Chain A
Amino acid sequence: MAREILRVDMSDLSVKREPLPAAWGRYGGRALTDAIVFAEVPPDADPLGPDNVLVFAPGILGGTSAPNGGRISVGAKSPLTGGIKESNSGGQAGHALARNGIAALVVTGVPADADARYCLVIENDGSASLSRVDEWAGLGNYELADKIAETRPEGDRYATIQTGPAGEAGAKASGIAFSDPKGYPNRFAGRGGLGAVMGAKGLKAIVVSDKGHGFLEHADKDAFQAALKRFASALKEHAVTGQALPAYGTNVLTNILSEAGGLPTRNFSEGSFEKADDIGGERQAETIKARGGHSHHGCHTGCTIQCSRYWVDKDGHYKTKGPEYETAWSFGADCGIGDLDEIAELDRACGDLGLDTIEMGATMAVYMESGKIAFGDADGALKALMSGANGGEPGRVLWDGAAATGAAFGVARVPVVKNQALPAYDPRPVMGIGVTYATSTQGADHTAGYTITANILNVGGSVDPLKPDGQAELSKNLQIATAMLDSLGFCIFVAFAVLDIPEAFAALHELAEAHTGETWDPDALMQLGRETLTFERVFNEKAGFTAADDRLPEFFYTEKLPPHDAVFEVSDADLDSVFDFVPETAKQMGLA
């Protein structure tokens, strides 16, 4: 099936399909969203204005049966960081777009009527239309999903892409929700405020039907199946992807990070949480089992790792997904809250409002440090979070994230890079991740270069997390590899197997080659990663970012974190070496 661009202009409400330009023919996912944002968004554009574009792109392997290959990239200029953004999600939309022949959905412009709300519907014959849905204004994501369901014919199979009330309000911590295999709008392109970009475009929801579509056909079916088999075996064989993640989910990390002294606690003032086990993955798995919840499933069809799960309340009713490790940390340890039901309530609220749980938990911890509410006060946190509806305070300030909240309430210890809150690993006792936080084009983002592998988990080698040596090289290589995986459409958790099992690494290019019929090899894959990062880096430079933006906040260099009394020690020279490949790659790409 030919890969095309579906272009939707909210200024004149036009919808058209066009061929994917040849120059972007080898791009998918993050590489493609980056290429389009780079080409079409002026670096000084107002992120919520008519010149920003919002791009949704499945990966190169989207729509195929490649295990864990159905992720989706969402790109735009970020209202939170002011730089380029690629926010990555699970859910069903990646495969659904790809199976309709859509390599990228590009939304441009803003509607003349700022109060108008639209729903874009893509039917399973690839046709697309906009309809006015003003009556959906202000709906939470769960009710919105129900309203969408009422509009669909009996027996349809479709994916949804949604923005909640926070996105409609222009909140900088808002994310975009994607429906999971059961239709719950609980998977998120959470980071960087992209819900607000969707909201500014008046686009309340997107529906993509892929009823009747099977897997996409391959250039070489036999080679694809052979590589797929090797890849699936490796994912099954590796202890992390085959056993630990399905059994305990991502939250299995809480206890280990607390033991390692790297679990940011009470707004990054301590490295271990005394109630870590009460909010960790083992307790979570036991509780879900005892309550009859769904203990492991994929966030999208075709996932074989199955690290997702549903949290259910004491009566066994669905509350939210996960909570994932990042959320158990952000509203848990970082806010001093030691109860999974309380965390799940905050997670549900963020999911329904359409807010990034990492940003909001970190924000709440900053708010708690201001003394307005106490650490551990889950009821106060929920009340503050919900108060943002209709512009209420303090919620509306909190919805703009940790940096805005720190400024508004006079808090000095604000854990952000490029205005985006740090995730669930303190960079002082885990210095590799500090390099990623500091240098990533995305703002502080653990997934951009997940050094926890070698720093903590002994995956892909080991690098002492408490020393600065080798961290920049580790982060650089992982950032390149991650950009590549994001462009293929893979879940980055395949990296645990790819880093340790040579056959799994080889299968990546074998799958890409067998599917597309183009030549792919390890070098070409790494070049794809470098080109992806180069688009991002050069865009950010044009948007005004300098080396000074590639640093952690001062307190990480000066305040010793117990229990190791560690400070961040990676040199500026090392940080500045991470993107040393960009000038040459930019020249090769003709961007220089």
Chain B
Amino acid sequence: MRVDLALFAHLSGFQPDGRGGRSSRPLELEEGATVGDVASLLGLPDEPRIVLLNGRHAEDSTALSEGDRLAIFPPVAGG
């Protein structure tokens, strides 16, 4: 299956194509892959993350589906 992956702040360098940037791009995954599987596949640093799956918060255990938009942020805040 294919999901649409966007990575932000200092995580953008982990896009598999190595081009960085925040624009989303497709990622091929095996059926049943979870958010945690994507983190492992990309080699994301072991730190708390903010994961938004189709605009809603998701956990590492959340399973992905074809066509999902997956956005991952490091710990950030502002105001």
Residues of A within 8 A of B (CB): 238-240, 243-245, 247-253, 255-256, 259-261, 272, 277, 280-282, 307, 324-326, 429, 446-447, 450, 452-453, 456-459, 462, 464-466, 492-493, 496, 563-564
Which single residue of chain A is at the shortest CB-CB distance from B78? A250
Closest 4 CB pairs of A and B: A250-B78, A239-B75, A253-B78, A244-B76
B9 lies within 8 A of A458 (CB): no
Is A260 touching B22 in the complex (CB atoms < 8 A)?
no
Contact between B52 and A240 (Cβ–Cβ < 8 Å)? no
> Is B14 part of the contact surface with A, judged by Cβ < 8 Å?
no
Interface size, chain B (Cβ < 8 Å): 22
Measured between beta carbons, the chain A residues less than 8 angstroms from B8 are 255-256, 282
Within 8 Å of chain A (Cβ to Cβ): is B40? no
Provide the residues of chain B in CB contact with A255, threshold 8 Å. 8, 22, 71, 73
CA–CA, A450 and B9, complex, Å: 22
A429 to B8, CA, bound (A): 21
Cβ-defined contact, A256 with B76, below 8 A: yes
B residues within 8 Å of A by Cβ?
A: 6, 8-10, 12, 22-23, 47-48, 50, 52, 55-57, 71, 73-79
Q: Report how far A260 CA is from B55 CA in the complex, Å.
A: 4
Neighbouring B residues of A272 by C-beta, 8 Å: 55
Residues A248 and B55 in contact, CB atoms below 8 Å apart? no
Please, which residues of chain A bring their CB within 8 A of the CB of B12?
Answer: 282
Residue in A closest to B8 when the chains form the complex, CB atoms: A255
CB distance from B75 to the nearest CB of A (A): 4
Residue of B nearest to A465 (CB): B57
Interface pair A496/B9, CB less than 8 Å apart: no
B78 partner residues in chain A, CB cutoff 8 A: 245, 248-253, 281, 307, 324-325
Query: Are A446 and B22 CB-contacts (below 8 A) given A256-B8, A260-B55, A464-B57?
Result: no
Contact A253 B79 (CB under 8 A): yes
Contact of A277 among B10, B22, B76 (CB under 8 A): B22
Q: Which of B48, B71, B73, B77 contacts A496 (CB 8 A)?
A: B77
Contact present for B79 and A466 (CB under 8 Å) = no
A326 partner residues in chain B, CB cutoff 8 A = 79
Majority SS at the chain B contact face: loop
The answer to whether A240 and B22 have CB atoms under 8 Å apart is: no
Which chain A residue has the least Cβ–Cβ distance from B72? Answer: A259
Given contacts A239-B74, A252-B76, A253-B78, 9 further A-B contacts (CB under 8 A): A245-B77, A250-B78, A253-B77, A255-B8, A260-B55, A326-B79, A458-B50, A459-B77, A464-B57
Interface contact B48-A458, CB-CB below 8 Å:
yes
Q: Which of B23, B56, B73 interacts with A256 by CB under 8 Å?
A: B73
Smallest Cβ distance from A554 to chain B, in angstroms?
25
B26 to chain A, nearest CB (A): 17
Q: List 14 A-B contacts (CB under 8 A).
A: A239-B74, A247-B9, A247-B10, A252-B9, A253-B78, A253-B79, A256-B52, A259-B73, A281-B9, A281-B78, A324-B78, A453-B77, A458-B50, A458-B57
Enumerate chain B residues within 8 angstroms of A456, measured Cβ to Cβ: 50
Measured CB to CB, the closest approach of chain A to B72, in angstroms, equals 10
CB contact between A239 and one of B48, B52, B55, B79 (< 8 Å): that residue: B48
Complex interface: chain A residues within 8 A of B55 (CB): 259-261, 272, 429, 563-564
Chain A residues with CB under 8 Å of B74's CB are 239, 243-244
Give the complex CA separation of A367 and B77 in angstroms.
30
Q: Are A447 and B79 in contact (CB under 8 A)?
A: yes
Q: How far does the alpha carbon of A389 sit from the alpha carbon of B79 in the complex, in Å?
A: 30
Complex alpha-carbon distance, A259 and B5, angstroms: 12
A-side contacts of B56, CB under 8 Å: 260, 466, 564
Residues of chain B within 8 A of A238, CB atoms compared: 75
Across the interface, name the chain B residue whose C-beta is closest to A261: B55
The docked-state distance in angstroms from the alpha carbon of A564 to that of B54 is 9
- Report whether A239 and B47 are in contact in the complex, using a CB–CB cutoff of 8 Å: yes
Q: By the criterion CB–CB under 8 Å, are B48 and A280 in contact?
A: no
On whether the beta carbons of A240 and B75 are closer than 8 Å, the reply is yes
Most B CB contacts (10 A, CB to CB) among A261, A307, A457, A466 go to A457
CA distance in complex: A245, B71 (Å): 19
Chain B residue at minimal CB-CB distance from A307: B78
Q: How far is the CA of A256 from the CA of B71 in the complex (A)?
A: 8
Q: A248-B9, A256-B73 are in contact. Are A277 and B79 (CB under 8 A)?
A: no
**Contact B71 A259, beta carbon cutoff 8 Å:** yes
Neighbour of B77 across the interface among A282, A452, A464, A466, CB < 8 A: A452
